[in-house]
A and B are shown apart, each in its own frame.
Chain A
Amino acid sequence: MQPFFLSLLIISCGGILPLFLWRRPLLMRGAGATLIAAGSLLGLVDAARQLYAPVAVTATVDLLNTVPITFTSDSLSAFFLVAIFAVSGLTAVYSFHYMDKSDHAVRTAVHYLFFSLLIAAMALVVTADDMIAFLLCWEIMSLSSFFLVVYSYEKEQNRRAAFLYAVFSQVGAMFILAAFGVMYACTESFAFAGASGMPAAIKLLVFILAMVGFGSKAGLFPLHIWLPQAHPAAPSHISALMSGVMIKTGIYGIIRLYAILEWHAPVLGQIVLAAGLVSGVMGVIYALGQKDLKKVLAFSSVENVGIILIGMGVGMIGVSAGKPIMAVLGFAGGLLHVLNHALFKSLLFMGAGMVLHRTGTGVIDHLGGLIKRMPITGTTFLIGALAIPGLPPFNGFVSEFLIYIGAFNGIALGKTNFVLSLLAIVGMALIGGLALAAFTRVFGIVFQGEPRSPSAQAIEQGPTMLLPMIVAAAACVVIGVFPTAFLTMAIQAVEPLQLGYGRIPLTPFIQITATITRAAVVLFAVFLILLALRKLLYSGKTVTRSGTWGCGFTQPSARMQYTGSSYAASILAFFKPLVPIEEDHPPVIGRFPVKTHYQSRTRDIAEHQMDRLIVKPVLFLFDKLRWLQHGDIHLYIGYILLAIVVALFFV
Chain B
Amino acid sequence: MQSVVLLVSALLLAPLYSAMILKVKAFFGGKKGPPLLINYYTLIKLFKKGSVYSTSTTLIFKLGPLVSLCTAVMILLFLPIAGHPPLISFNGDIILVIYLMALARFFTIAAALDTASPFEGMGAAREAFFPIICEAALFMMLILFYILTGELNLAAYFAGAQPLGLWQSAGAPLLFVVLALFIVMLTENARVPVDDPATHLELTMIHEVMVLDHSGPDFAFIELGAFYKLFFYATLVARLLCPWTFDVPLLDLIFFFGVLCLVYMAIGVTESVMARYRMDKVPQFVLTSFALVFFATVITLEFIK
A residues apposed to B, CB below 8 Å: 368-369, 371-372, 382, 386, 389-392, 397, 401, 404-405, 408, 411-412, 422, 425-426, 429-430, 432-434, 436-437, 440-441, 443-445, 448-450, 512, 515-516, 518-519, 522-523, 526-527, 530-531, 534, 537-538, 541-551, 556, 558, 560-562, 566-571, 574
Contacts and interface: CB of A to CB of B under 8 A. Distances in A.
A411 B128 contact: no
B283 A574 contact: yes
A569 B283 CA distance: 14
A436 B106 CA distance: 7
A284 to B, nearest CB: 10
A433 B54 contact: no
Contact of A526 (B73, B125, B143, B150): B73
A561 B56 CA distance: 12
A571 B99 contact: no
Given A405-B92, A562-B121, 10 more contacts: A369-B56, A371-B58, A422-B143, A436-B106, A512-B92, A527-B70, A534-B66, A538-B51, A548-B55, A570-B126
Contacts of A397: 99
Interface in B121-178: 121-122, 124-126, 128-129, 131-133, 135-136, 138-140, 142-143, 146-147, 150, 152
B66 A530 contact: yes
B105 interface: yes
B215 to A, nearest CB: 10
Contact of B102 (A389, A515, A519, A562): A389
Contact of B128 (A386, A422, A523, A567): A567
Contact of B58 (A412, A425, A448, A534): A448
B268 to A, nearest CB: 28
Contacts of A523: 70-71, 74, 100
Contacts of B119: 551
Given A411-B147, A426-B139, A450 B102 contact: no
Contacts of B106: 386, 389, 391, 436, 440
- Identify the interface centre among B71, B98, B110: most chain A CB within 10 Å of its CB: B110
A548 B118 CA distance: 10
Chain B interface size range: 35 or more
11 contacts: A401-B92, A429-B138, A441-B128, A449-B113, A449-B114, A515-B93, A523-B71, A526-B74, A538-B217, A545-B55, A562-B118
Interface in B210-244: 212-213, 216-218, 220-221
Given A429-B138, A541-B50, A445 B113 contact: yes
A563 to B, nearest CB: 8
A560 B120 CA distance: 12
A408 B143 CA distance: 7
B56 A548 contact: yes
- Identify the interface centre among A372, A527, A566: most chain B CB within 10 Å of its CB: A527
Contact of B113 (A404, A448, A538, A547): A448
A549 B56 CA distance: 11
Given A412-B150, A530-B73, A437 B128 contact: yes
A571 B283 CA distance: 10
A436 B105 contact: yes
B69 interface: yes
A568 to B, nearest CB: 8
Contacts of B124: 440, 444, 562, 567
Contacts of B67: 527
Contacts of A527: 66-67, 70
A67 B70 CA distance: 63
B303 interface: no
Nearest to B69: A530
B235 to A, nearest CB: 19
A518 B74 CA distance: 12
A355 B275 CA distance: 45
Contact of A448 (B49, B60, B71): B60
B117 A404 contact: no
A408 B93 CA distance: 13
Contacts of A408: 92, 142-143, 146, 152
B68 to A, nearest CB: 10
Given A371-B58, A449-B56, A405 B91 contact: yes
B116 A548 contact: yes
Task: For the complex of A and B, list the 10 residue pairs with the smallest distance between their C-beta atoms, beginning with the closest.
Answer: A562-B121, A444-B113, A433-B132, A541-B50, A449-B116, A437-B128, A537-B217, A548-B54, A429-B139, A515-B90
